[in-house]
Amino acid sequence: MNKAKIYPRTGDDQTVYLNQVVTNPNIIVGDYTMYNDFVNDPTEFEKNNVLYHYPINGDRLIIGKFCSIACGAKFLFNSANHSLTSLSTYPFPIFFEEWGLERAQVARAWDHKGDIVIGNDVWIGYEAVILAGVTIGDGAIIGTRAVVTKDVPPYTIVGGVPAKPIRKRFPDDTIADLLALRWWDWTEERIAAHLDAIQSGQIDQIK
């Protein structure tokens, strides 16, 4: 297996290993995480899908290993959040020249909610939106066109606007076992040797 290549499937230029196409040091992506885009060039994920991600904030997008990100998923960062502590939502500091403000005040135009952190083995559905400051736990599933405004626990399915829990993927004891096993950190050889058990849901065979 070659996790250093851009396109994991022969003849498929719509699917990429994401860590091979991002260049921004504030976007950190684990091995084997893939992005599929049948509308735009998937290699332009950084431009088309990571929005309002300005260097002045230093905020980060952190995505774990073995995640599946569907076409059109968006990650909206802090600069999309006009300040709610101001008496006006108009971003006066952005137009510092027009209003005689200091350039250093630009970041006062928006509220800072923090990084976006996506765990391992997370599936993000078609055109889902993840907002700044959200953490999504390992194994979670984000439904199509969901808007995620709050943290999502591990192995939880969420959907809707705003996204709300639908159900857990597994019983609590299975979730605890999976979080302890952290199979995504295994060697390629060990994962390959246990693929049948992983795909058929036989956790007893990999414990």
Q: Taking the CA atoms of 20, 52, 73 and 143 in sequence, report the sign of the dihedral they define.
A: positive
Name 178's bridge partners: none
| Burial classification of residue 64, based on how many CB atoms lie within 10 Å of its CB (0-12 exposed, 13-18 middle, 19 or more buried) | buried
Kindly state the tokens that stand for 38.
């049948």
CA-to-CA distance for 178 and 139, rounded, in angstroms?
9
| Strand intervals (E) in the chain | 15-17, 27-29, 34-36, 50-51, 61-63, 68-69, 74-76, 116-118, 123-124, 129-131, 135-136, 141-142, 147-148, 156-159, 164-168
Q: Is 82 among the residues known to form the active site? A: yes
> What Rg do the C-alpha atoms of the chain give, in angstroms?
19
Q: Taking the CA atoms of 87, 90, 92 and 94 in sequence, report the sign of the dihedral they define.
A: positive
Catalytic residue among 53, 82, 112, 194: 82
The residues assigned a catalytic role are 82
